[in-house]
Chains A and B, each alone.
Chain A
Amino acid sequence: MRNLLHNMNPSVKFIAVTISMLTIAFFFNPWTPLLFFVSILLLQLTMSHINWKLWLLFMLPFSIGAFGYLWTTVVFGADTGGTIIWSFAGINVTDEQWAHALSLSFRVMAFSSLSLMFAFTTDPVKFILSLMQQLKLSPKLAYGVMVGYQFLPVMKDEFTQIQQAQRLRGVEVEKRSWQRIVSMRRVLIPMLAGAVRKAERSAFAMEARGFTGEPRNAYYRPILLSRTDVLMSGVFLIILLTSCFGGIWLN
């Protein structure tokens, strides 16, 4: 039971997540995203084993974002009519505006929990392999992405090395964001020049091992579809329908 989300085929999970998200986007009542958010939480509590501390840490910025959304929508909400429920500093907030604001904030929470659910229960390598095996992603792209993924730690380290070396030359770390963006060019050029070199070397190494980008006949690690996927797709569908209709009904 606790493995169900982890054992789900990544492509199926990806499709389920995408469809859920696009569907929820049609709803502007506060209940639908709230119901969905709670259901995804329950789903994760019962069908996965994840590090909740880490989950909270990741959820925090989204919650902050959701709060930002809440007050922006209250202050800059579209004129919708309805009754004024409260006023503050000259801003009149109607019940409809308030409902919209809550809806959008809950939407941020719902989408974030959905994303985290995917991120916490999916092995990145299996995800790529599955995109290639189930969704017929071209091996050229799939393994291209895979190479990038392998290089991440190396390039992070390189990034630090370059920053350290440049600081030695008297380059200060800028405080303002836009200045930091502009000064980023100095680190970017050596990074990108290195990336060009690494790209060619890696591509040559792959081709020298007979990689042509053609679809493959057999996989050493077949990513399979199983009964779990049918079951879990059903679960997602039920959650989605419950949230949609439940939201309408509660509203």
Chain B
Amino acid sequence: MLKSWKLKEVVLMSLFAVVFGIVYLLFVHAANIWAAVIGPLAYEWMFGIWFIVSIICMYIIRKPGAAFLSETMAAAIEVLIGNAVGPRLILTGVVQGLGAEAAFALTGYKHFNILVLMLAGIGSAVFSFIYGYFVSGYAALDPSFVALMFTIRVLSGAIIAGIGGKYIGDALLATGSLRGYAIARTKKGDMNA
């Protein structure tokens, strides 16, 4: 799978992960304080920030694996830069990345419009929720509370990761710095797909 990848694309995913890693650190402190007051709900709404890397990378590079690899690399980098959540993040990253990747794979990696990107955000949300259901033991919670958590996470995935990812991808494209990446070449063909 990696044969067809240029090194500069792999490094790009890694550096994007660093950028969002820095952003994420800014928010996670705030959420930690809220966590005491409103419990695990504090983290739910910001899950989208987690998923956004995979969506932006796929939107730019448009190669099978972009969502999965970028999310996994993002998690690995998060571990390297000393995120205290540590190695279990890698597993989380793998799962989230697979969720987004599944959405792109469903559409045959042909369409990258806003709906597909939102679907990818939802994909990450659903996959990560199933994983969290198991690891964090959501089974012990009231089903209606679990449903609320799920809804917030899906919304966060669709809005922050999906719409936000598209917005940032387009804004970055407008700066002219993405010359030589798939997004710059195919931007005309995919507008209404």
A–B direct touch in complex (beta carbons closer than 8 A): yes
Asked if A107 is at the interface of the complex by the 8 Å CB criterion, the answer is yes
User: Contact: B172 with A189, CB < 8 Å?
Assistant: yes
Contact residues in A for B21 (Cβ distance below 8 Å): 152
**Could you tell me which residues of chain B, from 13 to 39, have a CB within 8 Å of some CB in chain A?**
13-19, 21-23, 26-27, 29-30, 32-33, 35-39
Distance in angstroms from A178 CB to nearest chain B CB is: 8
Are A156 and B7 CB-contacts (below 8 A) given A25-B137, A76-B141, A111-B88? Answer: no
Interface residues of A (CB under 8 A from B): 14, 17-18, 21-22, 25, 28, 58, 61-62, 64-65, 67-69, 71-73, 76-79, 100-101, 103-104, 107-108, 111-112, 114-116, 118-119, 124, 127-128, 138, 140-141, 144-145, 147-149, 151-152, 155-156, 159, 177, 180-181, 184-185, 188-189, 191-193, 195-200, 202-204, 206-207, 211, 213
| A141 partner, pick from B10, B23, B26, beta carbons under 8 A | B10
- Pairs of residues from A and B, 10 with the lowest C-beta to C-beta distance, nearest first: A115-B86, A72-B39, A148-B14, A76-B145, A203-B8, A61-B32, A199-B12, A68-B39, A195-B15, A144-B10
Asked if B191 is at the interface of the complex by the 8 Å CB criterion, the answer is no
Interface residues of B (CB under 8 A from A): 2, 5-8, 10-19, 21-23, 26-27, 29-30, 32-33, 35-42, 49, 56, 69, 73, 76-77, 79-88, 90-91, 134-137, 139-145, 160, 167-168, 171-172, 175, 177-178, 180
Interface of A is mostly: helix
A-B contacts, 9 of them at CB < 8 A, read A18-B88, A67-B36, A68-B39, A78-B140, A115-B87, A116-B84, A119-B84, A141-B10, A196-B177
Contact residues in B for A25 (Cβ distance below 8 Å): 134-137
Are A192 and B168 CB-contacts (below 8 A) given A62-B84, A151-B15? Answer: yes
Interface of B is mostly: helix
| B76 partner, pick from A71, A104, A145, beta carbons under 8 A | A145
User: Contact: A104 with B49, CB < 8 Å?
Assistant: no
User: Contact: B178 with A151, CB < 8 Å?
Assistant: no
The CA of A108 and the CA of B138, in the complex, are separated in Å by 12
